[in-house]
Structure 1
Amino acid sequence: MSEHVLNVGVVGCAAIARRTTLPALAAEPSVRLVAVASRSREKAEDVARTFGCEAITGYAALLARDDIDAVYVPLPPALHAEWVARALAAGKHVLSEKPCVTSRAEAAELVGAARDAGLLLMENFAFLHHGQHDAVRALVDAGAIGEPRHLGAEFAFPPLPDADIRYDPALGGGALLDAGVYTLRAASLYLGPEVAVHGAVLRDDPATGVDVAGAALVADPAGRTGQLTFGFDRSYRCACTLWGSEGSITLDRAFTAPPGLRPVLRLVRQDHVEERTLPAGHQFASLVARFARTVLDGGDFKGPGEDILRQAELVGAVRAAAGREAVC
């Protein structure tokens, strides 16, 4: 590994990778995108041409390369545990597409393996790295809405094409693992690491068996609450509202602000409504830069692992509260 550049490979050619994280990896000065792997040679070559790297057939072949220091894993959720584990065993740092795992047991195994090997394992929640959330927290810290009391987080969109992998239970499909995880991560961000699930509902599609919508009630030990709603069965909504004793703050593109968008923050107080247009931000570029600098500078490897464990616990708690399975 060069002192100033992280050599990265990509395990899979998912559409989300091509739209978001692969362009960010290719553009980041502290990253050298070495290769991309697919089970299909044709697909690997197509993606490699687009991003100026080498095409590799087969994920294992990429992990065997000694000129790759870290990998990005954008496979379907049910495949993450195997290939993240294999990447860590091969001595690679890992940026995993969300959700990194489908269970608390997988999270414990992978986070433990990363710690034992002294490797960074990070989950790709890019929205956390957009400046609009820094703006919200700065206003809260300045007392703009008084004491925070409640979080509303919503992420939903219209039905997907029938062949979409998110309708396949064997691949880790379902709205909770696709959209609900964003709202749960927002709850940890704004209500703190001790937030817990107190109730949940999941609604299944009888044709596929996956959950297509859901909601959860969460709260922290101080009694601050959160109402989380998610699904792919309704019109698009992607918002967070933090409601306090003296006002509220709302972001309308809380999770998916594209690079050119200048987000609008809405601040409401008694007899006062204000809309602030915030600077544009590239959340995927910011996340990739953070991942690379953490590895190159020997930063905090423990924190991202704790985030993965806590997130997996919340997902398991939603399932348990909805009557789907015991917390494990």
Structure 2
Amino acid sequence: MSRASINWGVLGAAEIAREHTIPAILAAENSRAYALASRRGVPEERVEHFGSEIGYGDYDKLLADPLVDAVYLPLPNDLHAEWTIKAAHAGKHVLCEKPAALNAGQTAEAIAACAATGVLYMEAMMYQFHAQHARVRELVAAGAIGDLRGVQVNFTFNLEKSLSDFRHGTLETGGGSLYDLGCYCVHVIRSLLGEPDRVATVARFAGPNDAEMSAAAVLGYDNGAKAGFDCGMDAVARHVYEVYGTDGTIRVPKAFVPQVDGDGPIEIVDAEGHTTTEHVTSFQYPNGVAHFADCVLRTRAPDYTPENVLANMRVLDACIESVTTSRIVELEKH
């Protein structure tokens, strides 16, 4: 494209879109908040409030609009693959809210549809666009904590009383903490340790839909590295990860949830227990939106590739399989 910005269409007015992604589109210089669609209709005042130029009461009508270059999909999890494929067939580039789909098979189908129609695809795993995570990887590569031994991740918040939220649905419909939060935990572990060889997971089910409210997993590596995470919708807010090695620890206490001031502290603890804190200021949602828009404008692949998205889903599949079978699940090599 020879233009300086792309026109975004947003399918659905979910909370994540209202609070984070639409404001990010408005903030990104290479993005234009063009259209918003909701099946319940989009009142003119809502379109104006979110800075869009046009509102649709039907997703298909938005996809048929020739002025829409790319769509953001914040729909319920069980609709992600379906509408990614529909958007691809309409010739729209796709930024799909995580998780990409309900399993690796659906994810592969969605990615294949985008590849076949020549549109770009990226899962909206936006935390990774905060610069603190690149800094953590730099520190590890530089030997700041010696030889890397493992990663621990904690990501919880309390949604136990909000029974109407779709995340209280069954695993079959994309509900539960593994889909909502575990995908982040898996991603950060993979970004530091690579692909695990086996997974063991346990979970707590509760509520009228017997939803998976919380889970804990151990990821094993043939090279001896170890990782673990817990995620949940039934506990106090925690979003932290810790990377440990032979000579120290790196702790990221504000790992996933965007901070208004962009603050991303990194705590480096040496073998004697002395702590040094670095602060990295970055804004993950505007960065992620601007990155995807730049990829569209320059016709280049996103840094978070479809292959990486699919690999993340394979591990999440293994976690869910382990929960449902009460067994350790071995991952196939790809």
TM band (smaller chain) = over 0.9
Deviations 1:252-309 (A, max 9, x none): 1111131404222111112242232413211001100110111111222595210221
Distance 2:63 2:159 in 1: 36
- Unaligned 5+ runs, structure 2: none
CA shift for structure 1 position 233:
1.2
CA shift for structure 1 position 15:
0.8
1:232 maps to which residue? 233
Distance 2:255 2:310 in 1: 23
Query: Is the counterpart of residue 271 in structure 1 residue 272 in structure 2?
Result: yes
Q: What is the total number of aligned residue pairs between the two structures?
A: 326
Aligned 1:221-260 pairs, distance under 5 A: 221-260=222-261
- Unaligned 5+ runs, structure 1: none
TM-score, normalized by length of structure 1? 0.94
Residue identity opposite 1:233 in structure 2: D
Give the 3-state SS of the residue equivalent to 1:323 in structure 2.
Answer: helix
Query: Is the counterpart of residue 199 in structure 1 residue 216 in structure 2?
Result: no
Distance 1:9 1:206 in 2: 35
Could you tell me whether the CA contact under 8 Å between 2:71 and 2:92 is conserved in 1?
yes
Q: CA, structure 1 residues 324+272, in 2 after alignment: closer, same or farther (shift >3 Å)? A: closer
CA shift for structure 1 position 195:
2.2
Q: CA, structure 1 residues 171+26, in 2 after alignment: closer, same or farther (shift >3 Å)? A: farther
CA shift for structure 1 position 219:
2.8
1:126 maps to which residue? 126
2:55 maps to which residue? 55
Q: CA, structure 1 residues 311+6, in 2 after alignment: closer, same or farther (shift >3 Å)? A: same
Residue identity opposite 1:220 in structure 2: Y
4+ runs deviating over 4 angstroms: 324-328
CA shift for structure 1 position 171:
4.4
Q: CA, structure 1 residues 7+189, in 2 after alignment: closer, same or farther (shift >3 Å)? A: same
Query: Is the counterpart of residue 141 in structure 1 residue 141 in structure 2?
Result: yes
Distance 2:132 2:280 in 1: 8
Give the 3-state SS of the residue equivalent to 1:61 in structure 2.
Answer: helix
Identity %: 33
CA shift for structure 1 position 63:
0.3
Could you tell me whether the CA contact under 8 Å between 2:18 and 2:50 is conserved in 1?
no
Over aligned residue pairs, what C-alpha RMSD do you find?
2.0
Distance 1:185 1:44 in 2: 37
Distance 1:128 1:100 in 2: 15
CA shift for structure 1 position 47:
3.3
Q: CA, structure 1 residues 19+196, in 2 after alignment: closer, same or farther (shift >3 Å)? A: farther
2:159 maps to which residue? 159
Distance 1:44 1:2 in 2: 33
